[in-house]
Amino acid sequence: MTSILVVEDDTAIRGALSRGLTERGHAVTLATAGLNGLELLLSARPDVVLLDLGLPDVDGLQVISMIRAVDATPIIVITARDDDEALVKALDAGADDFVSKPFSLPQIDARIRAILRRGGTAPGDAQPIVVGGLSIDPRTRTASLDDRALELSRKEFDLLLVLASRVGEVITKRELLAEVWQQGYGGGERTVDVHLSWLRRKLGETAAEPRYLHTVRGVGVRMVAPRPNGGDG
Ligand code: CA
């Protein structure tokens, strides 16, 4: 599932995008103006932003610059057919792609897929994540512990990435199941347990003597950086 932030002041277009993208299985967040869009970008952390250039409060070009000042979330600009100059400026300001009004939903959907493919593997932040002696690179899908490469299966890597990208937070097994296995509710928590125990072994720890992966009984798992001296004094 792709999470999409739509920033569009036109009620009809916003509604059509919301319905169409939701029907295609995406999670859609709606903003009616630029500043509201920026707030939602930071709180909802979408995979892609669909941005109208003609907004009531802040110019769309400024919105692009403001987004680019904080992160690299892909931006697809929605332009009027005759907006050639604005489109060039938008691309120069850091937009990744555009669609012209009137647009079709299959076309927008295809552009979203293309942009996420171009962006590489995991949507969101592609910078390496460092937690204590652990380093996880989403772009190359490699991980190391104390400068030693870890040999992880695909699911083990995904699990580690989800946990490390939300370090300090307790993540439920259901959330892990949804994020790593794309499964909904019901069953499968045993799958998470098994993969967690494999991951622990590779990190050189056990559930009884955790360093990075701490079980919060009845709730879920939390990743933390171990204390510098090993911690058990
Ligand atoms: Ca508009």
The domain spanning residue 134 has which CATH number?
Answer: 1.10.10.10
By the CB criterion, residues less than 5 angstroms from ion ligand 1 are 9, 52, 54
pLDDT in tens, 51-91: 999 999 999 999 999 998 888 899 999 987 677 788 888 98
Residues 12, 74, single domain; the answer is yes
The domain spanning residue 106 has which CATH number?
Answer: 3.40.50.2300
Residues 111, 174, single domain; the answer is no
Cα 54 to ligand 1 centre (Å): 4
Cα 118 to ligand 1 centre (Å): 28
Residues 13, 114, single domain; the answer is yes
pLDDT at 124 exceeding the cut of 80 = no
Residues 104, 141, single domain; the answer is no
Domain count, the chain: 2
Cα 155 to ligand 1 centre (Å): 42
Within-domain flag for 231: no
Residues 38, 19, single domain; the answer is yes
The residue among 96, 119, 142 that closes a domain is 119
Give yes or no for a contact between 134 and 158, defined as CB atoms under 8 angstroms apart.
Answer: no
Cα 60 to ligand 1 centre (Å): 9
Residues 167, 107, single domain; the answer is no
The residue among 119, 150, 177 that closes a domain is 119
Cα 59 to ligand 1 centre (Å): 10
pLDDT in tens, 200-224: 999 999 999 999 999 998 889 999 9
Residues 167, 192, single domain; the answer is yes
Residues 100, 140, single domain; the answer is no
Residues 101, 158, single domain; the answer is no
Quick one: pLDDT at residue 119? Answer: 63
- Cα angle 97, 100, 106; round to 5: 80
Quick one: pLDDT at residue 50? Answer: 97
0.75 surpassed by pTM:
no
Q: On the CB side of 197, how many CA atoms lie within 13 Å of its CA?
A: 6
Q: What is the DSSP string of 76-126?
A: EEEE-TT-HHHHHHHHHHT--EEEESS--HHHHHHHHHHHHHHT-SSSS--
pLDDT at 232 exceeding the cut of 70 = no
Within-domain flag for 232: no
Cα 36 to ligand 1 centre (Å): 14
pLDDT at 13 exceeding the cut of 60 = yes
Quick one: pLDDT at residue 72? Answer: 85
Quick one: pLDDT at residue 26? Answer: 92
Q: What percentage of the chain carries pLDDT values higher than 70?
A: 91
Domain that holds residue 156: 129-223
Confidence of residue 231 (pLDDT cuts 50, 70, 90): very low
